[in-house]
Structure 1
Amino acid sequence: MRFLIGLVIALALCAGGLFALDRYFPEQATRWGIALERSQSKLEERILKIPGFEIAYLEGGSGEPLVLVHGIGADKDNFTRAARWLTPHYRVIAIDLPGFGQSSKPEQADYGIPAQVERLDEIMQALKLPRAHFGGSSMGGWIIASYAAKYPDKAASLWLLGAAGTDGGKRTEVRLAYDRGEYLLFSQKPEDFEKVLDFVMVQRPFIPGSVRHVLAEQAVANYTLHTRIFRNLIEHWSEYAVNDKVKDLPVPALIVFGDGDRAVDPGDGLIWKQLLPNSQLEIMKGIGHLPMMEAPQVVAERYVKFREGLPK
């Protein structure tokens, strides 16, 4: 009994300490929380250099390389929780694109899709990877599909999560809001961050208040650059669109959309399916724009099953 009482007291003190850390030291709590998530997924943060940029990335696991690319306004940690079910099978490499996360962010650099495709190839060279499997969320899916079209021998497969970049689909709330001069995916003020989370996800994972606070401040700090990158994507959409580039590309692909995606229309999944003849399409019920964050275990396990079905 004394042992049980002591355990309860220890747990209470631990919980109290975490509460105080979360409330009074948000940046430290955020670093601790992110470090814990990465540790549980067997990921370590590393740095590499390519011409003009320093690139932050996470790496862990062993096996065939799986390079993961986040979407606009996001970073490498969008994949951290899902990686828990990926690192037992693959060498997982989640990068911060130039302009995002902890990677370099020169204000006047070109962040268009073709430029990011070339930087992705420079990252591949820096990692000494002649070939890899690729996963990409939203804009990241756009980039990896464009990469596979330009460097087909370097892409073993594609995992497209709510991927943007097709032409001819339905205009979403994001595009309609942009026409009114509004940016639904970005936070101009800290209080906007909660609205962004509600917009991009149907099933929001638990995020401690301190982490939300720090992420909101980071989003505000990046608002000017990221909205400039977004404007470039919209203004050059037809030029950057994947339709003609990936049509009939034989690379195996798993296409995943949430039926509650408000940022990229789930119907675009059918466009991707028609463009990529060796592809599978999954529409997840009750999921929004970020399946790997909303249902990380399910999404990761389905990806592993997809990979197991590929020719050896």
Structure 2
Amino acid sequence: MTFAEKYIDLPRARLAYYETGRADGETLVLAHSLFLNKDMFKPLMGALADDFRLVAYDSRGHGASSTATDDRYDMEAYYDEAAQFVERLDVGPVHFAGNSMGGWVALRMAARRPDLIRSAIAMGSTGDDEDDVHAFDPVLEQLRARGGEGFEDGFSFIFFGDASLTSESFAPLRNYWLNHLTSLSTFYALPGAAVAHRSAVNPELRHCNVPVLAIAGAQDHVFPPSLSENIARAARHGKAVVIPEAGHSVSIEAPEQVAAAIRAFVSDYCA
């Protein structure tokens, strides 16, 4: 599968994105994790190519997208950007899925812009306040001082489950992303700090009619499955799925299982 890069100019940033899959299918938009980029969804897009028109984009300051002219990298800026991006796609209501930070965007879209989305899928994410925001301090201190250099063990624990860290077959993907993370510049301390201090969105979901799927990796060291279950309980039409032997980057670690969960959810909840 080939991935040709395209661009959309928004008021505060130029976003890069991939578009692939079924030209006549419903659109599924994919939003990546903090510090990663749209390439994290290549395995998942391969698994869903026969089911959806797929659009994966880089958020401001990530991947091939530009930095923001307003220098904002908080969750509200990422949410505003996502809404503008979907509006510019001009394909009608879409399914919107995101991993980690992208999941926080998806939940805000469900709660606030039901005119733009048919369903929201949050993977390795949470709709609660960060219960221990200071747990992010070692990562932020590292990024401010040296970027990602030398922080391979910390990133390994955050981004991958135990099975992924020991799997020989997963080693090429694991090493690719760890190399990406340890190459991060000091710039990423800015979005890291802003996103860590986000507000809860679960209370907003109680009045939301958009179906919401929360997918958790059973071995997520950062956001355990209980937080996905909280999302499902908060949403009026919510469901939680736990993927065994996957961690925080569940869409990278278990793309076939995530694809199956998305297909079943869309079929059951969005017919």
Q: What interval of TM-score do these two structures reach, taking the shorter chain for normalisation?
A: 0.7 to 0.9
Secondary structure of the structure 2 residue equivalent to 1:78? helix
Secondary structure of the structure 2 residue equivalent to 1:136? strand
Q: Distance in 2 between matches of 1:149 and 1:262?
A: 27
Matching residue of 2:136 = 178
Matching residue of 1:215 = 180
CA contact 2:20–2:49 (8 Å) conserved in 1: yes
Matching residue of 1:273 = 232
Matching residue of 2:35 = 73
**Which of these residues, 213, 216, 237, is aligned with residue 254 of structure 1?**
213
Q: Displacement, 1:72?
A: 0.8
Q: Distance in 2 between matches of 1:283 and 1:64?
A: 25
Secondary structure of the structure 2 residue equivalent to 1:309? helix
Secondary structure of the structure 1 residue equivalent to 2:172? coil
Q: TM-score, normalised by structure 1?
A: 0.75
Q: Displacement, 1:165?
A: 3.6
Relative to structure 1, is the Cα distance of residues 279 and 161 closer, same or farther in structure 2, using a 3 angstrom cutoff?
same
Q: Displacement, 1:195?
A: 3.8
Q: For 2:255, give the aligned amino acid.
A: P
Q: Distance in 2 between matches of 1:210 and 1:273?
A: 33
Q: For 2:201, give the aligned amino acid.
A: V
Q: For 2:135, give the aligned amino acid.
A: A
Matched residue count: 261
Are 1:154 and 2:110 an aligned pair?
Answer: no
Relative to structure 1, is the Cα distance of residues 209 and 125 closer, same or farther in structure 2, using a 3 angstrom cutoff?
closer
Q: Displacement, 1:170?
A: 5.4
Q: For 2:239, give the aligned amino acid.
A: Q
Write out per-residue CA displacement over residues 17-71 of structure 1, whole angstroms, 9 at most, x where no aligned residue: xxxxxxxxxxxxxxxxxxxxxx2xx533211211131111111012000000011
Q: Displacement, 1:275?
A: 0.8
Q: Distance in 2 between matches of 1:210 and 1:294?
A: 12
Secondary structure of the structure 2 residue equivalent to 1:51? coil
Secondary structure of the structure 1 residue equivalent to 2:110? helix
1:56-67 equivalent positions in 2, closer than 5 A: 56-62=16-22, 63-67=25-29
**Which of these residues, 45, 55, 58, is aligned with residue 5 of structure 2?**
45
**Which of these residues, 93, 117, 120, is aligned with residue 79 of structure 2?**
117
Q: For 2:267, give the aligned amino acid.
A: E
1:1-312 equivalent positions in 2, closer than 5 A: 39=1, 42-62=2-22, 63-106=25-68, 109-167=71-129, 171=132, 175-179=133-137, 181-183=138-140, 188-193=147-152, 195-202=154-161, 203-204=164-165, 205-207=170-172, 211=176, 215-216=180-181, 218-219=183-184, 221=185, 224-235=186-197, 237=198, 240-312=199-271
Secondary structure of the structure 2 residue equivalent to 1:158? strand
Relative to structure 1, is the Cα distance of residues 165 and 228 closer, same or farther in structure 2, using a 3 angstrom cutoff?
farther
Secondary structure of the structure 1 residue equivalent to 2:188? helix
Q: Distance in 2 between matches of 1:170 and 1:85?
A: 34
CA contact 1:43–1:61 (8 Å) conserved in 2: no
Q: TM-score, normalised by structure 2?
A: 0.86
Identity of aligned residues (%): 24
Q: Displacement, 1:277?
A: 2.1
Q: Displacement, 1:129?
A: 2.8
Which residues of structure 1 form unaligned runs of 5+?
Answer: 1-38
Which residues of structure 2 form unaligned runs of 5+?
Answer: none
CA contact 1:53–1:104 (8 Å) conserved in 2: yes
Cα RMSD for the two superposed structures: 2.5
CA contact 2:213–2:232 (8 Å) conserved in 1: no
Relative to structure 1, is the Cα distance of residues 217 and 258 closer, same or farther in structure 2, using a 3 angstrom cutoff?
closer
Range with bigger deviation, 107-116 or 73-82: 107-116
Secondary structure of the structure 2 residue equivalent to 1:66? strand
Structure whose CA Rg is larger: 1
Write out per-residue CA displacement over residues 266-288 of structure 1, whole angstroms, 9 at most, x where no aligned residue: 21112101111211111222211
Q: Displacement, 1:156?
A: 0.1
